[in-house]
Structure 1
């Protein structure tokens, strides 16, 4: 942040509630400018409109996540979900007008050449005929979020939500870990019929929307919705094979070593969370202690990170404490009319607090660094590139991580985090492969989908042993993954980004300052280029390049073997 910029405060952010009529009138003015040939004025007015609407929408969805039981917040989200297709319709009409402008060479410097490519993809993902389907899709996704947030689970004399199970799920006592697994998955088994029904309806809706738009199924539409303009399903399928070939054997060896180190007869599913035989390192203190310690960590890395983090905390742009009725997980959202992001998480006293915090901080820092990009399409990169910013920061905090876990536990934390990053890759590609099979076979029954998951699980995670947890043995594990319900095909982005983030880690071991500077430069580029161009500009190798995973896996194996 420069001295001339006054740091905003979250409490001061407000945007008036838009209406369909108001949006239509505002867009009519944009169209009038285009009719007059005043493209520059039209683009400026449209940019202002999109930023204001984006800020309002982010506020509404954030407030619902902060308290899913608040009737007013739920009503506002329902209203936003109904309005969203109307806004998309109006936005796509402007994109079509601009793409039809005869002076494309003159338009590109004004809006950005990559934006034009994005818009060409965007306009194929919407038609007024699917407005009711989009509203229903949003309603079903919200129902899934509410259902998981409603969990009230009893363990060790305490009542917790799903996030609150975290400390028990990685407890050094094997019996407590087993009980955490039993309690958590019993909740999903109790609601299995509703979970199946929600997903069944979502799959049917998405397949129906794709066919209305002229696609054979949802897969190509899903890729276009994620604005993947430089790779497709065949590239992703090859990448999954790379994970299967290079990563799955290593993770199997690491898990077997863990089993032997702990003297277990068999490694059960509830043992996988306990990575460190001495107990997974934990944060040095509660929320307040961790937030304060992070300031010192970022100060030791780079003044740009430290100054930005201070503005986040001072401005109230974080909500990190777990509480009843709060949506699970963590995310980063932003307010494009303000230029400031917001981090949402659920601290539960485990190492995941640090992982989620540094991950979402990476997203937030990128959004801040790219706030001066010329249009809203560039404020965020596409998702797989955005996850490089988040996962990259997880690795780049390694030198100062002792400030969050204690210096005596820093080496153990780094080892645990790296093992966790590797172990995640097979699960991540399994989730992706599952979704490809689901949407290629939309008529499959709920029971058949569980069989698909079981088959793929045996392929990518052959070590999974669920013991006496019946729901997991019946192929139900995927139903706890919100991305499968609410963000189809997004999950592979984490694994693609992990490949790139681990390259930053390798580079940081050779020249930390150069790696950090390259990372910050990548953040500043925002979404101004497609995924593979951003990767190459950062000096990284595309995950779709043969050997990209082999190199980082070799480095990781050498590090872990030392």
Structure 2
């Protein structure tokens, strides 16, 4: 599934913006979808009023039995009949509301089935239920949209338009079912993702001098020399790279075909423009990568080498012994200190058992991912968290609680739900960083170390996001690219960011394939980089004006997840991270906070790789000791925030296909 510790946020299914047609495999995740950025403004004020649907019922006491589609089927039939008869305004309005609320119930049951399955994927009954709800969702999603489409074609169009909003009317009226060719490509992608999951979960082994080695055996052998250990580790990494890399190349080929099917020469453009509807371009990101190299990388290096309070780190280690109850109580106190409103929501979450926080249990095969799902029928969400028994548990819980709070405030019907990943991550990572102002409540005397590690994580997110965006562009824009090219190019890319974030073997890297994000969510990672820069800006504001920073955060949290990213930053007075001068200002503020010197600009400075030419390998390793250590830790998922989308794998969003079809018709 993923490397231990990677944070994973599972998002909602949203038929019109996130999921249609294909059923997921029992452990599948796929890329998120959303409206195009311009649609947000037309939708403001058109959210269907549903009142406070919150359940205020403990999760264990909520309805868990299999969803019966009979109510939804009957509502659709009655709705379509009523739309054919004059004088049925009350019935049409009521039945439309029933379609929306029942779809929320179905989506909620899909998420609940996924949670039950993730607790133990070896449990046959849970696997069967998960597959059933996914298949049912596939079937009913299209039926609901088509039923509403029929209503809009009737004399009740004005009534339904008033309830839905004109933009949603356009969405539904323009919807067309998938063609066989579309479905075939989606199925191919789904099958390859399932293949990847099996390969990633399988044990990797290599035969060296007649002996079979695995990662477990390597770690358990205390008698190997450093040289032997390194040789075996390299062989294992190379073999795993060969296995997973071959699957990625197959996925890339299918995905290029998908882009071509909709008239795109560039898969990257297809993802940026339509799949994610970003309000920034590939060219913007290319410029951002250069800004990060010039402004963020030197700052990150300086922070890594800055004086540390080692006694604080020793205190931080003591968090390993805290129970889940203590984790919840301590985090709740810190969140409540940050905002009374958030403290109330945290208590609501605890009192209603809307979390599963634990370590692996003997005899159970628990999915090793951290995520949050929306439970639309109940007006709240659910946090699924795997404990590492380190301070990272506090970071993960606060991160996921940020998503939980966003769902708590969100009243958008599931059928029309959508989100912008960058904004969504501001809502989660922003809470992580603001909470560092109460690090003493979280970690006691380990507070300074906790705050420093959390800030450093954001820098790692920025740099790794840029690195992987560069790699994925190479992958998708070059149909004849080979795995050896990617391994070599990744080494060059990470060198250009002045760090050994992943182990290098001469001129190649192999371990980059361990990031599941590049398999599940192509061209998605950059959203964590943009969001991390923005939340660092928010954190810098909090050092000068804590009340203002909290007000800004709460405004973004309550503003929903569909607001365009750059518009969000502008609306709340946060910096434009695509402007080098503004990023430099932010970097200097952070330097001032930590008492770091501002680096002098050198005219005609040589590129980084030129400066390294001819350097002694041992010296280079010593110079990068701290970065190597951090890289290994982060490779294990300690700091990287990987957000994957729980949706029906291979399912395109209605809006996506609508925009594509419109584009094709114009061409």
1:558 deviates by: 1.6
The answer to whether 1:59 aligns with 2:94 is: no
Please identify, of 477-486 and 181-190, the stretch whose mean Cα deviation from structure 2 is larger.
Answer: 181-190
User: Using a 3 Å threshold, how does the CA distance of structure 1 residues 228 and 317 change in structure 2: closer, same or farther?
Assistant: same
Deviations 1:80-123 (A, max 9, x none): 55556545655665797799999999977643577679x59996
The answer to whether 1:444 aligns with 2:481 is: yes
Which structure is higher in RCO with an 8 Å CA cutoff and minimum separation 6?
2
1:181 deviates by: 10
Deviations 1:152-202 (A, max 9, x none): 99xxxxxxx99x9xxx9xxxxxx9x99999999876555444312332332
**Which SS does the other structure have where 1:397 is aligned?**
helix
- Structure 2 match to 1:530: 564
Please identify, of 188-197 and 423-432, the stretch whose mean Cα deviation from structure 2 is larger.
Answer: 188-197
Which residue of 332, 335, 346 maps to 1:298?
335
User: Using a 3 Å threshold, how does the CA distance of structure 1 residues 105 and 35 change in structure 2: closer, same or farther?
Assistant: closer
User: Using a 3 Å threshold, how does the CA distance of structure 1 residues 559 and 79 change in structure 2: closer, same or farther?
Assistant: same
Please identify, of 513-522 and 535-544, the stretch whose mean Cα deviation from structure 2 is larger.
Answer: 535-544
How far apart are the structure 1 equivalents of 2:341 and 2:227? 44
- Structure 2 match to 1:70: 123
- Structure 2 match to 1:50: 103
The answer to whether 1:462 aligns with 2:498 is: yes
In the TM superposition, 1:465-480 aligns within 5 A as 474-480=508-514
- Structure 1 match to 2:375: 335
- Structure 1 match to 2:439: 401
In the TM superposition, 1:119-130 aligns within 5 A as 119=171, 127-130=179-182
1:483 deviates by: 1.1
How far apart are the structure 2 equivalents of 1:192 and 1:49? 45
How far apart are the structure 1 equivalents of 2:535 and 2:148? 34
1:394 deviates by: 0.6
- Are the counterparts in 1 of residues 420 and 561 from structure 2 also a CA contact under 8 Å? yes
- Are the counterparts in 1 of residues 466 and 526 from structure 2 also a CA contact under 8 Å? yes
How far apart are the structure 2 equivalents of 1:115 and 1:547? 40
Which residue of 547, 552, 557 maps to 2:581?
547
User: Using a 3 Å threshold, how does the CA distance of structure 1 residues 5 and 131 change in structure 2: closer, same or farther?
Assistant: closer
1:464 deviates by: 0.9
Which residue of 119, 122, 131 maps to 2:183?
131
In the TM superposition, 1:43-442 aligns within 5 A as 44-79=97-132, 86=139, 89-90=142-143, 93=146, 110-112=163-165, 119=171, 127-145=179-197, 148=200, 189-223=238-272, 226-228=275-277, 230-255=279-304, 257=305, 278=313, 281-282=316-317, 284=319, 285-323=322-360, 325-370=365-410, 373-376=411-414, 381-406=419-444, 408-442=445-479
How far apart are the structure 2 equivalents of 1:33 and 1:227? 37
How far apart are the structure 2 equivalents of 1:475 and 1:121? 49
TM-score (norm 1): 0.78
How far apart are the structure 1 equivalents of 2:527 and 2:300? 20
Largest Rg, 1 or 2: 2
Which residue of 548, 562, 569 maps to 1:514?
548
1:286 deviates by: 3.2
**Which SS does the other structure have where 1:334 is aligned?**
strand
User: Using a 3 Å threshold, how does the CA distance of structure 1 residues 288 and 242 change in structure 2: closer, same or farther?
Assistant: same
How far apart are the structure 2 equivalents of 1:121 and 1:405? 54
1:426 deviates by: 1.0
How far apart are the structure 2 equivalents of 1:443 and 1:21? 50
**Which SS does the other structure have where 1:350 is aligned?**
coil
User: Using a 3 Å threshold, how does the CA distance of structure 1 residues 98 and 437 change in structure 2: closer, same or farther?
Assistant: farther
- Are the counterparts in 2 of residues 229 and 530 from structure 1 also a CA contact under 8 Å? yes
- Are the counterparts in 2 of residues 430 and 456 from structure 1 also a CA contact under 8 Å? yes
How far apart are the structure 1 equivalents of 2:229 and 2:416? 42
How far apart are the structure 1 equivalents of 2:560 and 2:376? 13
- Are the counterparts in 2 of residues 126 and 213 from structure 1 also a CA contact under 8 Å? no
How far apart are the structure 1 equivalents of 2:485 and 2:244? 14
User: Using a 3 Å threshold, how does the CA distance of structure 1 residues 73 and 525 change in structure 2: closer, same or farther?
Assistant: same
User: Using a 3 Å threshold, how does the CA distance of structure 1 residues 24 and 130 change in structure 2: closer, same or farther?
Assistant: farther
How far apart are the structure 2 equivalents of 1:254 and 1:489? 28
How far apart are the structure 2 equivalents of 1:100 and 1:243? 51
1:294 deviates by: 1.5
Deviations 1:19-67 (A, max 9, x none): 9999787666666666779785675344224322321222233333332
The answer to whether 1:503 aligns with 2:503 is: no
- Are the counterparts in 2 of residues 434 and 452 from structure 1 also a CA contact under 8 Å? yes
How far apart are the structure 2 equivalents of 1:185 and 1:21? 56
**Which SS does the other structure have where 1:547 is aligned?**
helix
- Structure 1 match to 2:29: none
**Which SS does the other structure have where 2:509 is aligned?**
coil
How far apart are the structure 1 equivalents of 2:536 and 2:259? 35
User: Using a 3 Å threshold, how does the CA distance of structure 1 residues 152 and 450 change in structure 2: closer, same or farther?
Assistant: closer
1:248 deviates by: 1.8
- Are the counterparts in 2 of residues 334 and 341 from structure 1 also a CA contact under 8 Å? yes
1:368 deviates by: 0.6
- Are the counterparts in 2 of residues 282 and 405 from structure 1 also a CA contact under 8 Å? no
- Structure 1 match to 2:663: none
**Which SS does the other structure have where 1:237 is aligned?**
helix
How far apart are the structure 1 equivalents of 2:198 and 2:314? 33
TM-score (norm 2): 0.67
Gaps of 5+ in 2: 1-50, 206-213, 597-667
How far apart are the structure 1 equivalents of 2:174 and 2:117? 27
Deviations 1:469-506 (A, max 9, x none): 75x96422221111111122221111111122112212
How far apart are the structure 2 equivalents of 1:129 and 1:12? 44
**Which SS does the other structure have where 1:198 is aligned?**
helix
Deviations 1:252-287 (A, max 9, x none): 3334x26xx79xxxxxxxxxxx99995593463232
User: Using a 3 Å threshold, how does the CA distance of structure 1 residues 510 and 397 change in structure 2: closer, same or farther?
Assistant: same
- Structure 1 match to 2:518: 484
Gaps of 5+ in 1: 154-160, 169-174, 263-273
- Structure 2 match to 1:267: none
How far apart are the structure 2 equivalents of 1:498 and 1:294? 21
1:427 deviates by: 1.0
How far apart are the structure 2 equivalents of 1:178 and 1:35? 79
